[in-house]
Amino acid sequence: MKSKKKPTPAAKPAPSKSGIDADAVRDLAKLLKETGLTEIEIEHKGARIRVSRGGGVAAAAPAPAPVAAAPAPIAAPAASGPVAGAVPSPMVGTVYLSPEPGKPAFISVGKTVKEGDTLFIVEAMKTMNAITAPRGGTVREITVSDGTPVEFGQTLCVIS
């Protein structure tokens, strides 16, 4: 009787000498970019990988035993800081550029706005929140698209 050899599965690239699976980190970074998320963390077979944008932190470590968790480090602010005249989102949610579908946008590039004018609506937990101009000026840039998710502190537009 002849013994049959089982075909060996395709070899997977081994993690680097540091123990970090560079391909997994790349895949997670790509997923962050595609989804617009700022952070993602996975745990698989006792290893945890966390990737975040902004702070540029990528880490792989064995999963900790269930004990009190230490607070996550706070990412240092970017050296350049926000753009002068930036209007940040005060909350996480979905941004809308007009009061309802089919209606004109609240603002457009080049439009002059007064302090208190409605610039956007951010929907958070089924509540529509008007985002108003913190100061008067001219809209120089709109950095978001209608119906897209926004993060807390993300620049929505620039007024100068």
pLDDT given at position 110: 95
CATH architecture designation of domain 86-159: Beta Barrel (2.40)
pTM: predicted TM-score of the whole model, two decimal places: 0.50
pLDDT digits (tens, 9 = 90+) for 41-69: 777 666 677 777 664 444 455 555 554 54
Tokens of 15: 């993690």
More confident residue, 4 or 40: 40
Report the range of poorest mean pLDDT among 59-63, 104-108, 137-141, 152-156. Answer: 59-63
Evaluate whether 122 touches 94 at the Cβ level (below 8 Å).
yes
Q: 134: burial class by Cβ within 10 Å (0-12, 13-18, 19+)?
A: middle
pLDDT given at position 42: 73
* pLDDT over threshold 90, residue 29: no
Boundaries of every domain in the chain: 22-62, 86-159
